[in-house]
Amino acid sequence: MELSKRILVTGGSGFLGSHLCERLLEEGNEVLCVDNFYTGTKNNILHLLDNPFFESIRHDVTFPLYLEVDEIYNLACPASPIHYQHDPVQTTKTSVHGAINMLGLAKRIKAKIFQASTSEVYGDPEVHPQTEKYWGKVNPIGLRSCYDEGKRCAETLFFDYYRQHSIRIKVARIFNTYGPRMHPNDGRVVSNFIVQALRNKPITVYGSGKQTRSFCFVDDLIDAFVKFMQSDDHLIGPINLGNPAECSILYLAEKIIDIIGSKSMIEMKPLPSDDPKQRKPDITVAKKELNWEPNISLDDGLNKTIEYFDKMLFVSN
């Protein structure tokens, strides 16, 4: 039986972070959740606060942190365009200064550290599906650059700390993920469509709606996080984590309307700047090295997510 660990999760009250904290506690670990609550919310971790092995710390990762832990999951950074474009300078600082501070901590205490990178490092890709060897096509001065280039720089820092200081790193490139605890106003396509459909409001589809995404349910992704962190130290990544089942944005809108039985109509709007036309992970490495692939279907995942938002909206009304 594996001994329990003391694990730090930055961004621990966010969508992915709260699910990760929950999973790590279920596996018998002690969890320190660090968050400045800029986009995360205490509502996501309220059910964990009575657990004696869980601790919540209000802290901004752009400032150093001094703790003693065995492992670090660095998830801190706004992940939706609405949030990360609100204060783009702070977004870049969170990715870059946050990475420097967490890597410095890992170096000092000799902890293994996981970086939540993103498929956004591929930009608007010219290669489809995207493999880890693809370097990407990113606009360095666009509206999304604070997030895209911040995450790219964080990957650079992780690999330089690995080469220069022999830090044990794990770098995951996360593709579109959805599920309960998404922020209802984060501007991401699944939460947008579900909230609009539940309210019978027009569903806003940008561009032609033919642009594609691949949607991974949160439980599948958290499985991959844990498997990756538990893998041998030689496996450092970057590794694509996501669901290769691709669908158009228009198809997703129509499916959500159908599941909910909504009266919503679809409203077309201009495509935002630098919005990728295609996004699909090649997960060959994850399948081979982690023996992982998603197993929750889009229909099952959407039903669980719709149920969450339906309850949330009912309570707020």
The C-alpha angle with vertex 78 and arms to 75 and 80, in degrees rounded to 5, equals 120
- List Cβ neighbours of 160 (8 Å cut-off, separation of 6 or more): none
Q: What's the CA gap between 156 and 247, in Å, rounded?
A: 31
Phi-psi region of 173 (alpha: psi -120 to 50; beta: other; left: phi over 0): beta
Among 147, 162, 251, 308, which one carries the catalytic annotation?
A: 147
Catalytic (active site) residue 38: no
Tokens representing 99?
């990475």
* Residue of 136, 137, 94 whose CA lies nearest to 238: 136
Q: At what angle are helices 189-198 and 249-260 packed, to 10 degrees?
A: 30
Alpha helix positions (H), 231-274: 249-260
Q: Are 79 and 118 in contact (CB under 8 A)?
A: yes
* Token pair 């999973």: residue: 23
154-188 burial: b if 16+ Cβ within 10 Å, else e: bbebbbebbeeeebbbbbbbbbbbbbbbbbeebeb
Residues classed as catalytic = 147
